[in-house]
């Protein structure tokens, strides 16, 4: 099967690429000219240079493909120019979906996020039917992913877009080059740089399980449906305790409320804006998100797709092993 994969240089995309190649698919990858191509080294795929913001640059890559797997996204909790996230995540998604329609692609897997799904007030795990609205979205990243998913869902109805939506939770594991916001937590904890914790929780999942979930959605998913690809719900403290099991750094024992961290985040973020620094170590949106417990269940994907996920302990172990082997830990 000839498949166009976006985001192949990134974390989830590179895991999907490896599984597609192992399955014997003919994979085209759309890559920005200035992207770090380290995750593509030694892999049998055809590279097309292009940009989601430029529709004409997408067309040569998708022209002969039967399937589109649109995984690429700008995943940052803070950006000097926040409109960049909207341009890539919303405008870029619309562009590539339009290109897929023009190329008569037979099936599309669109990678959304659990960020677009609502939260339950009682901290019970949310599912695909938990309601949400744009006003529920905290920060530009979540807003951009919500709007992008809404555009895909509109095109499914109005333009017969043959898309299946998957909503991964917080992936961790090998090949997290940047790293992602969740990967940054693992690195900082493994380096003993998290002195205290906020009482919150999230759903963590092995990146290779998320990748497998994409292939299962391609094989068994229903057009117009969405499927949460998650793992294990853990408190932040439980995650830090697991990290400590694979390092010589003790987990923090002091908890602090978000209200104490928030002023610090504002100051750090302001300094990053003035100095035009990379993403600060703590962000306002990150702290605001931490006020909500981000628990989800993957029952639908398990029942309908045969999806399975390994333990968070295994995911954290594999992440720390990879970060250690690639110079992120000290």
Consecutive sets of 10 residues in the chain, 330 residues long: mean pLDDT of each?
Answer: 96 98 97 93 95 94 96 84 91 97 97 94 92 92 95 98 98 95 94 92 97 98 98 96 95 89 82 77 80 93 98 98 96
Flag whether 209 is in a domain: yes
Only one residue has tokens 């998290």, namely 194
Q: Given this model, what pLDDT does residue 279 score? A: 74
Confirm if 16 and 211 have CB atoms less than 8 A apart: yes
> What is the pTM assigned to this prediction?
0.94
H or E element that contains 68: strand 67-70
CATH of the domain at 6: 3.40.50.720
Residue 57 lies in a domain: yes
Among 251, 235, 196, 230, which Cα is nearest to 305's?
230
Which residues partner with 201 through β-bridges? Answer: 235
- What pLDDT does residue 276 have? 77
Calpha distance 18→189 (Å, rounded): 28
108 bridge partner residues: 68, 163
- Runs of H (alpha helix) within 77-122: 83-86, 92-102
pLDDT score, position 187: 96
The answer to the question of residue 316 being in a domain is: no
Residue at 97 is within a domain = yes
Report the chain's terminal Cα–Cα distance, integer Å: 43
Contact 316, 246 (CB under 8 A): yes
Residue 274: predicted pLDDT: 79
pLDDT of residue 24: 97
Distance CA 66, CA 20 (A): 14
Structural domain of residue 40, as residue ranges? 2-177+205-233+295-310
For residues 275-302, one letter each, b for 16 or more C-beta atoms within 10 angstroms of the residue's C-beta and e for the rest, the string is: eeeebbebbbbbbebbebbbbbbbebbb
> Distance between CA 146 and CA 140 in Å, rounded?
10
Q: Identify the pLDDT of residue 266.
A: 79
In a domain, 321, yes or no: no
pLDDT of 257 reads: 86
Q: Within a 10 A sphere around the Cβ of 270, how many other Cβ atoms? A: 12
Which own/partner pairs from 279-282 qualify as long-range (CB within 8 Å, at least 24 positions apart)? 279/76, 279/77, 279/78, 279/79, 280/78, 281/188, 281/193
Q: Report the number of distinct structural domains present in the chain.
A: 1
What's the pLDDT score for residue 258? 83
CA max distance for the chain: 56
Q: What is the pLDDT of residue 96?
A: 97
The pLDDT assigned to 23 comes to 96
Q: Are 165 and 227 in contact (CB under 8 A)?
A: yes
Cβ contacts of residue 132 below 8 Å, gap of 6+?
Answer: 116, 117, 118, 119, 146
Residue 322 is assigned to a structural domain of this protein: no
239-243 long-range contacts, Cβ below 8 Å, gap at least 24? Answer: 239/185, 239/189, 239/202, 239/204, 239/312, 239/316, 240/189, 240/194, 240/197, 242/312, 242/313, 242/316, 243/186, 243/189, 243/190, 243/316, 243/320
What's 294's DSSP letter? B
Q: Is 227 in contact with 305 (CB distance < 8 Å)?
A: yes
Is there a contact between 12 and 73 (Cβ–Cβ < 8 Å)? Answer: no
Per-residue pLDDT at 280: 76
Residue 257 in domain:
no
Each residue of 238-248: b (16+ CB within 10 Å) or e? Answer: bbbbbbbebbe
Backbone angles phi, psi at 268, to 5 degrees: -65, -40
């Amino acid at each position: 099967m000839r498949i166009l994969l976006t985001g192949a240089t990134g974390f989830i995309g590179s895991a999907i690429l490896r599984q597609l190649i192992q399955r014997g698919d003919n994979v085209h990858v759309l890559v920005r000219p200035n992207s770090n191509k380290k995750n593509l080294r030694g892999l049998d795929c055809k590279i097309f240079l292009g940009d989601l913001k430029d529709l004409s640059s997408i067309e040569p890559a998708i022209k002969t493909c039967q399937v589109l797997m649109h995984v690429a996204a700008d995943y940052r909790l803070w950006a000097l120019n926040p409109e960049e996230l909207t341009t890539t995540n919303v405008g870029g998604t619309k562009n590539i979906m339009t290109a897929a329609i023009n190329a008569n692609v037979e099936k599309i897997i669109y990678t959304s996020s659990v960020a677009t799904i609502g939260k339950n007030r009682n901290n019970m795990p949310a599912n695909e039917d938990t309601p949400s609205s744009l006003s529920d979205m905290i920060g530009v990243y979540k807003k951009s992913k919500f709007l992008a998913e809404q555009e895909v869902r509109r095109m499914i109805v109005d333009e017969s877009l043959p898309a299946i939506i998957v909503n991964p939770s917080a992936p961790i594991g090998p090949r997290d080059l940047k790293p992602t916001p969740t990967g940054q937590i693992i690195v900082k904890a493994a380096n003993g740089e998290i002195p205290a914790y906020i009482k919150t929780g999230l759903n963590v999942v092995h990146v290779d399980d998320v990748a497998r979930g994409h292939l299962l959605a391609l094989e068994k998913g229903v057009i117009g449906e969405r499927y949460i690809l998650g793992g294990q719900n853990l408190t932040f403290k439980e995650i830090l305790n697991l990290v400590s099991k694979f390092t010589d750094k003790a987990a923090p024992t002091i908890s602090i409320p978000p209200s104490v961290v928030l002023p610090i985040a504002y100051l750090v973020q302001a300094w990053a804006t003035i100095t035009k620094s990379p993403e600060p170590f703590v962000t306002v949106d990150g702290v605001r998100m931490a006020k909500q417990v981000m628990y989800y269940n993957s029952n639908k994907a398990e029942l309908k797709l045969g999806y399975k996920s390994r333990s968070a302990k295994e995911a954290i172990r594999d992440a720390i092993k990879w970060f250690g082997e690639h110079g992120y830990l000290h």
